[in-house]
Amino acid sequence: MEGTQGGRRQWRGLWASSANRNVNGTAGIMSGMKLHQLRYFAVLAEELHFGRAAERLAITQPPLSSGIKALEEELGVRLFERTSKYVALTPAGHAYLAEVRVVLDHVARAGETARSVAAGLQGRLDIGFTGSMVYRDMPRIVRAFGERAPGIDVQLRELSSSEQIDALLHRQLHAGFINTAAVPPGLLCRQLAADHFVCCLPQGHTLAHGASVALPALEQESFVMFARDVAPANHDNVIALFQRAGIHPRTRHAARQWLTVVSLVALGMGVALVPASLAQAGVQGVCFLPIAGLHHPTVGVLAWHEGTDTPALRVFLESAEPFLQSGP
């Protein structure tokens, strides 16, 4: 029979591993019959020999014969012409075989999908991030995860830190890259690899040509600050630096994103203390200088809900591990 050898190779593993499963059909071609009857039929249609078909199915001939008979009775048509010397498909059998192969292919792929999802290799992850995380390890973490689990659809959503915390608490995100030192009850987190604060100055500023900047030298400057209502940790971290230096900054502008802070500095609207990683943003008209005598880390965590334990999230957290600080 034309195409028999190719079909035989294609289906052999499926028949041998699944011949004795009794799964009720749910629609159309499967109506009231059993899934194993369809497998019996497909193998016999390829072998056209009860002995060889039974051998492939790892069963004896009597259950194969009774399964085919039950299938024909269910359909009300003869699928095979059979005598003591030969077995052949009827025209109805030929037509039925094409449809049965489609059904069995769907069943096989459904099983593969279920196993992939259970292993965390297929599905979807919704990941939140703040704009500044683009210049830290977030892209490398997402890339590492994509290489490990290419079947996962990763949806990235840029949100403020407070918006991410709210979304995580309401299970609207699987994980988030957040500018904060700690998370509220109900969330778990790991610290991201450390970044540190530097001074961002307009390129033409009188202090821009030094090797570093001492905070007291900025006491008379106007500052562009991060809005506290958006990410309290960002704002409070900067204020803590000023308090340690014994100065009181004059806030001229407040922004909701670190990149906006840097852009306002470039426009001459003031100076700012920002994460060093923002130098990678390539904003023109600014320079970044170390703060003399100070190496203060910025805050940043990868957070998730304590009750969210999907296989995909577990693989994501494993992919992030090389980029996280050790410890809880």
User: What sign has the CA pseudo-torsion 195, 306, 229, 131?
Assistant: positive
Please, what is the average pLDDT of the chain?
Answer: 84
Domains 128-193+300-323 and 197-289 share a fold: yes
pLDDT of amino acid 151: 85
CATH class of domain segment(s) 4-118 = mainly alpha
CATH topology classification for 128-193+300-323? D-Maltodextrin-Binding Protein; domain 2 (3.40.190)
Q: Where are the domains of the chain?
A: 4-118, 128-193+300-323, 197-289
| pLDDT interval class at 33 (50, 70, 90) | low
d(CA 291, CA 240) in angstroms, rounded, equals 14
CATH 3.40.190.10 describes domain 197-289: yes
User: Given this model, what pLDDT does residue 5 score?
Assistant: 40
pLDDT over 70 at 49, yes or no: yes
The tens digit of pLDDT for each residue in 230-247 reads 778 778 888 888 888 888
pLDDT at residue 158 in the model? 95
pTM, two decimal places:
0.62
pLDDT in tens, 282-303: 999 999 999 998 777 888 999 9
